[in-house]
Amino acid sequence: MAHRKDWWAAYLYLLPGLIFLFVFSLWPMVESAYQSLFRINLLNPNRGFIGLGNYLALLNSSLFWQVFHNALIFAVGTVPVSLVLALALGLLLNRPLPLLGFYRTAIFYPTVLPMISAAAIWVFLYVPSYGLIDRALEFVGIPGLNWLGSDSTALLAVMLATIWKQAGYYMIFFLAGLQGISADVLEASQLDGANWWQSLRYILLPLLMPTTVFVSTIALIAGIQAVDQVYLMTQGGPDNATNLPIYYLYQIAFMNWDTGQAAALTVLLLLLLFCLSWFNYRSLDRFTHYGN
């Protein structure tokens, strides 16, 4: 009886979290999957069951494939660069430097900025002819560019702003991981004659793999879910060159009012995020040691 009482007590403690999880996570996913099987358009009151019709409409759309091509370029261009930069900054700021607190605060500061403020800063930097970037290019004899107005540079411009915004956030995790590594391990490697590169490759990076698995997973998800900077800087333009999946979802749901197709896109995004997270975890976890 005492064992059963403890069992029920444990579930009572978990109940508030389970209710929150069901109401705000599981139920919306089930509801989206259900609505994706219907023709639901707020401009057309006729609602009908169409099965996989919404999915087929998306998969047959050239814009759908362009958006996911943009997302692939965006993820490949931001996630590895952000992680490498964050690791480098973590290694640098894990040393006893003068004004160390100032440097850590300065690098982490973009993370705490609201996205609207960060986007405004970068839009100002990208202003043709008058922006700081074009001014610097003209100073060295390179003609300026219309960074956000050209389909060849707009996505790159958004990617640079994203890396600047996220690198400091990921740095905090790597810095915490580095500070959790015993100094005795590094001292032992130095006594054995290991140089800096060998210590990094054979000691620090393997011991940081649990942190790397976590940070790379959240960075990958953030890369697919990026929307604020797109909405504030380019609104998907020019010519959909910066249109990413979540902004595309916003266009379908709140510009075209096609709730059924938006639900189908939501389901596809959930499946994509699950597959990417699982693949990332499985590919990195085999190199990871979680011992003390």
The 10s digit of each residue's pLDDT in 148-176 is 999 899 999 999 999 999 999 999 999 99
Is 137 within a domain?
Answer: yes
Give the tokens for residue 266: 């939501």
- How far apart CA 61 and CA 47 sit, in angstroms, is 22
| pLDDT exceeds 60 at position 291 | no
Nearest-Å Rg of the Cα atoms of the chain is 24
What is the model's pLDDT at position 167? 94
What is the model's pLDDT at position 4? 62
Is 280 within a domain?
Answer: yes
What is the model's pLDDT at position 289? 62
Domain membership of residue 218 as a residue range:
58-285
Q: What is the mean pLDDT of the chain?
A: 88
Is 238 within a domain?
Answer: yes
What is the model's pLDDT at position 218? 92
What is the model's pLDDT at position 142? 82
Q: Which among 35, 50, 52, 67 is positioned nearest to 247, based on CA atoms?
A: 67
What is the model's pLDDT at position 67? 96
The 10s digit of each residue's pLDDT in 73-120 is 999 999 999 999 999 999 999 888 888 889 998 999 999 998 889 999
Per-residue pLDDT, averaged over 63-74, amounts to 95
Is 5 within a domain?
Answer: no
Is 290 within a domain?
Answer: no
- What's the CATH code of the domain at 128? 1.10.3720.10
Is 30 within a domain?
Answer: no
Is 128 within a domain?
Answer: yes
What is the model's pLDDT at position 219? 93
Percent of all residues in the chain with a pLDDT value above 70, rounded to a whole number? 96
Structural domains in the chain (count): 1
The 10s digit of each residue's pLDDT in 121-149 is 999 999 988 888 988 888 888 888 899 99
Is 78 within a domain?
Answer: yes
The 10s digit of each residue's pLDDT in 251-286 is 999 998 999 999 999 999 999 999 988 888 888 777
Element (H, E) at 41: strand 38-41
What is the model's pLDDT at position 15? 87
What is the model's pLDDT at position 9? 79
| pLDDT exceeds 60 at position 182 | yes
What is the model's pLDDT at position 5? 62
DSSP 258: B
- Residue that has been written with the tokens 């160390």 in this structure: 100
Angle at 69 between CA 56 and CA 216, to 5 degrees: 110
What is the model's pLDDT at position 227? 92
